[in-house]
Amino acid sequence: MNPVEFSLKPFPGEEPRSEIGIAGTVGRCAEALSVAFTLTGNLPEIALPAPAESPKRKDRLWEETCLEFFLGTTDSPRYWEFNLSPAGHWNVYRFASYRSGMREEPAVASLPFLLRTEPGVLEISLELGLGKILPPGKTVEAAVCAVLRTVSGRTSRWALDPSGTRPDFHRRDGFSLILPAE
């Protein structure tokens, strides 16, 4: 697996008031995908929910601090949205095309991910079998993004290449990490 490194930037006008960084890696080996996020900086300013005793599938995680990634293939308008909460909650949605046909992905019944915190650092990582959602041998296009909510209630949205007149993680031109089939 040769992981691709990424660094997220806030959308214009949504820059945080203090130094925050979001970086990580995305890698693929055959039909296994690994994703790792590292959030660094003045984390006491970020509204990080307490870890849940029993993490579960939960809707609307993007309304709070949430790390996200999107997957699609080069030959289809269909794509998937993955939401990971620092509380341990998660969800996976499938879309038929751009913002159309959204539904929970039943092929993913659980999404266990590792969460590690220390002063100034939050790390989230997971391994995912692509065979649950994608046919074998397909090139994967990926986008990585985040929503950060501060303790004062301010929200910032982060992406690989934050462009456009408003934040929109679903735009396929944002799926700029290419993970070829091996």
136 versus 33: the higher-pLDDT residue is 33
State residue 182's pLDDT score.
73
State residue 32's pLDDT score.
93
Mean pLDDT of 121-130: 96
State residue 62's pLDDT score.
95
The dihedral through the CA atoms of 88, 64, 27, 40 has a sign that is negative
- Dump pLDDT digits (tens) for 32-48: 999 999 999 999 999 99
The pLDDT mean for the chain works out to: 94
Question: Which residues sit opposite 123 in a β-bridge?
Answer: 38, 116
CA angle 114, 115, 121 (to 5 degrees): 140
Tell me, what CATH number does 73's domain have? 2.60.40.1190
Residue 57 CA to residue 8 CA, distance in Å, equals: 25
Beta-strand (E) ranges in 30-89? 32-41, 66-73, 79-84
Q: Which two tokens stand for residue 5?
A: 């490194």
* Parent domain of 163: 4-179
* Best CA proximity match to 121, nearest among 51, 49, 21, 10: 21
Q: Reply yes or no on whether the pLDDT at 1 is more than 70.
A: no
Overall number of domains in the chain: 1
